């Protein structure tokens, strides 16, 4: 199929550990797309959580791309793992006036997450003890594992008469693994409840248009329509180039689009990188700029938001305790996992890590989110380099967990009041911080998030 030279896929990639605000970024970009433009998901499953405020209401999408409130076509790509019950439930959440079903298609090559995947994931994580990685328990890793073992069920299988037979065979293998490896016997009541939701989801999946990912993408590009590839999680969670083993099970970076959609890399253009004005992380693993260090990591692992509100009803962002500063940052940014409900660990922005992900994804444009969350701080910090073994470095080590890192910070004075009070421009202090990030990361910030809703943004007006 002929393709116009200038037609390229635009990846939208999180440049940190996920939760950067990709949902809002995609939703805003999608608002300018036409009915023939296309938004695709190319990897991951419902372990992602993209939060969008639309019409004064909060929506959290796990499988459906965040551009659902626009008018562009929507496609769930071959590289995804899809929990049918979760997808059906998510679709029911969308207002009926939104024409979703006519716009949405799904790849027959996408892998199905079945009920025993969820149980395998949960049981496996519990047996790891101190070695656990912070899995969401959504069955993502076992689903991708079955693909590698060449026994996975895929969306295309649901249209064949032997689907239930193949389902029972895979379920039997999972039960054997659970019993022999983990000494766990599934409760039939537990399984029956999950299966009811699963097969309801299969019925919903059959109602969607099945379309080959490569064909649908190339058709859009050949018509010179825009194609947005929405990444899930963040670049630092990529299964190969993230902070292994504290990663997800798929390729979250822009080069993962090729294998996730079945297209050559020449069709992929420069990415729009999404970064938060500070840093957060859910689950286990190294976090050099974490406010409160180990104390924070343990707290976020063991506590819930109710515990935190009881002990710290009004945390002070300018406390002498970095641990309390981190709690104040979490409260101001509502940093609770959209998928898991876990407390997100919080810290200052990390320039070496961002340079690593900007370069890896060829991020030519940036979107800075949640700058408004820093309004209560007297000083804002950014890690500009590390001290590792008494040596100064701006390079990210192969394994952050194997070295002792001391982050070195540059401080910025904060602005007074709320960013929303300044209208469609940023106060000098905020603009200085934004310009520093641009210069340091070598890419233009096209807009800055100043609140939760789609319209809470400041478009680029500075040179």
Q: Would you state the pLDDT for residue 129?
A: 60
Q: Give the tokens for residue 391.
A: 């040596």
Catalytic residue among 50, 54, 62, 174: 50
Q: Is residue 194 part of a domain?
A: no
Q: Is residue 304 part of a domain?
A: yes
Q: Is residue 326 part of a domain?
A: yes
- Which DSSP helix (H) or strand (E) runs through 305? helix 305-311
Using DSSP's 3-state secondary structure scheme, residue 371 falls into helix
According to the annotation, is 175 in a ligand binding site?
A: no
Quickly tell me which residue has 């939208």 as its tokens: 12
pLDDT in tens, 266-298: 999 999 999 999 999 998 999 999 999 999 999
According to the annotation, is 48 in a ligand binding site?
A: yes
Annotation marks residue 50 as catalytic: yes
Domain count, the chain: 1
The answer to whether the CB of 121 falls within 8 A of the CB of 77 is no
Q: Give the tokens for residue 257.
A: 């689009």
CA distance 75 to 65: 8
Annotation marks residue 62 as catalytic: no
According to the annotation, is 19 in a ligand binding site?
A: yes
Beta strands 209-210; 104-106: pairing state: parallel
Catalytic residue among 19, 37, 146, 212: 19
The answer to whether the CB of 441 falls within 8 A of the CB of 366 is yes
Averaged over 83-110, what is the pLDDT? 91
Q: Is the pLDDT of residue 123 over 90?
A: no
Q: Is residue 357 part of a domain?
A: no
Q: Is residue 298 part of a domain?
A: yes
Q: Is residue 329 part of a domain?
A: yes
Averaged over 150-175, what is the pLDDT? 97
Averaged over 202-213, what is the pLDDT? 96
Averaged over 434-458, what is the pLDDT? 91
Residue 332, domain extent: 290-347
- Helices then strands, each counted (H, E), the chain: 13, 20
pLDDT in tens, 326-342: 999 999 999 987 666 78
Q: Is residue 361 part of a domain?
A: no
Q: Is residue 296 part of a domain?
A: yes
Give the CB-side neighbour count of residue 31, counting CA atoms within 13 A. 10
Of 44-48, 49-53, 178-182, 344-348, the range with the lowest mean pLDDT is 49-53
Cβ-based neighbour number of residue 56 at 10 Å = 6
Note the pTM of the prediction, 2 decimals. Answer: 0.91
Which residues are bridge partners to 280 per DSSP? 346
Residues listed for the chain: 463
According to the annotation, is 24 in a ligand binding site?
A: yes
Beta strands 391-393; 379-388: pairing state: antiparallel
According to the annotation, is 346 in a ligand binding site?
A: no
According to the annotation, is 450 in a ligand binding site?
A: yes
């Amino acid at each position: 199929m002929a393709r116009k030279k200038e037609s390229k896929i635009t990846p939208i990639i999180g440049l940190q550990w996920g939760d950067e605000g990709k949902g809002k970024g995609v939703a805003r970009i999608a608002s300018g797309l036409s009915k023939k433009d296309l938004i695709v998901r190319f990897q991951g499953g419902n372990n992602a959580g993209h939060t969008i405020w639309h019409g004064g209401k909060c929506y959290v999408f796990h499988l459906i791309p965040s551009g659902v409130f626009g008018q562009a076509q929507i496609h769930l790509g071959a590289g995804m793992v899809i929990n049918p019950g979760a997808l059906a439930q998510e679709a029911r959440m969308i207002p009926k006036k939104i024409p979703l079903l006519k716009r949405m298609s799904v790849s027959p090559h996408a892998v199905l997450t079945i009920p025993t995947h969820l149980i395998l994931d949960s049981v496996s994580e519990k047996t790891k003890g101190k070695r656990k990685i912070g899995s969401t328990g959504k069955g993502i890793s076992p689903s991708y594992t079955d693909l590698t073992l060449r026994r996975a069920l895929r969306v295309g299988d649901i249209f064949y008469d032997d689907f239930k037979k193949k389902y029972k065979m895979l379920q039997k293998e999972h039960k054997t693994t659970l019993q022999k490896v983990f000494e766990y016997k599934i409760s039939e009541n537990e399984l029956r409840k999950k299966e009811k939701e699963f097969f309801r989801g299969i019925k919903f999946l059959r109602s969607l248009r099945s379309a080959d990912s490569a064909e649908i993408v190339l058709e859009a590009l050949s018509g010179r329509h825009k194609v947005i590839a929405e990444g899930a999680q963040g670049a630092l969670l990529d299964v190969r180039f993230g902070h292994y083993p504290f990663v997800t099970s798929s390729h979250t970076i822009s080069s993962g689009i090729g294998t996730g959609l079945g297209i050559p890399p020449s069709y992929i253009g420069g990415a729009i990188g999404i970064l938060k004005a500070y840093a957060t992380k859910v689950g286990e693993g190294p976090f050099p700029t974490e406010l409160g260090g180990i104390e924070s990591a343990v707290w976020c692992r063991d506590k819930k938001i109710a515990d935190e509100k009881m002990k710290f009803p009004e945390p002070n962002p300018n406390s002498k305790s970095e641990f309390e500063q981190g709690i104040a940052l979490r409260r101001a940014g509502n940093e609770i996992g959209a998928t898991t409900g876990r407390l997100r660990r919080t810290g200052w922005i990390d320039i070496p890590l961002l340079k690593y992900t900007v370069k890896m994804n060829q991020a030519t444009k940036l979107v800075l989110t949640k700058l408004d969350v820093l309004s209560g701080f007297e000083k804002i910090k950014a890690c500009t380099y590390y001290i590792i073994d008494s040596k100064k470095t701006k390079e990210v080590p192969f394994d952050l967990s194997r070295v002792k890192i001391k982050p070195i910070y540059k401080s910025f004075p904060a602005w007074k009041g709320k960013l929303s009070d300044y209208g469609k421009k940023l106060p000098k202090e905020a603009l200085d911080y934004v310009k520093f990030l641009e210069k340091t990361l070598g890419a233009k910030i096209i807009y800055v998030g100043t609140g939760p809703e789609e319209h809470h943004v400041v478009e680029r007006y500075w040179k």
